[in-house]
Amino acid sequence: MAIIKTKGNKISWLLCAAFLVCAVVIGTTVACGPAEKDTSKIEADKKGVVEFEGIAEVAVGKYVFIPEAGGFDIVVQGNLENEGIYALEGKQVRGKGTINKENPSVLIAETLEIKDESENWRNIFTRTDEAVLDDYVNLDQREEFSFLEGLAYNKKDAWEGKEKAKIYGEYSEGEEGKKITVYNQDGNEKIGSVIVDNISDFALFYMKKLRLFDKFYFYVEIKDTVDWSIRSRTKEMFHADVVFIGLF
Distance CA 247, CA 144 (A): 16
Q: What is the pLDDT of residue 153?
A: 96
Which of the following CATH numbers is that of domain 34-126: 3.10.180.10, 2.40.50.140, 2.40.50.100, 3.40.250.10?
Answer: 2.40.50.140
Q: Is 154 in contact with 232 (CB distance < 8 Å)?
A: yes
Q: Does 139-246 match 34-126 at the fold level?
A: yes
Gyration radius of the chain over CA positions:
22
Q: What is the pLDDT of residue 42?
A: 56
Distance CA 39, CA 56 (A): 20
Q: What is the pLDDT of residue 223?
A: 98
Helix (H, G, I), strand (E, B) or coil at 229: helix
| CATH class belonging to 139-246 | mainly beta
| Percent composition of the chain: helix, strand, coil (DSSP 3-state, to 5) | 25, 40, 35
Average pLDDT per 10 consecutive residues for the chain, totaling 248 residues: 39 39 41 45 67 96 95 93 86 96 95 92 94 95 96 96 97 93 92 98 97 95 98 97 97
How far CA 43 is from CA of 9, 27, 49, 96, 232, in Å, comes to 43, 23, 8, 12, 56
Q: What is the pLDDT of residue 187?
A: 82
Q: What is the pLDDT of residue 90?
A: 94
Domain boundaries, the chain: 34-126, 139-246
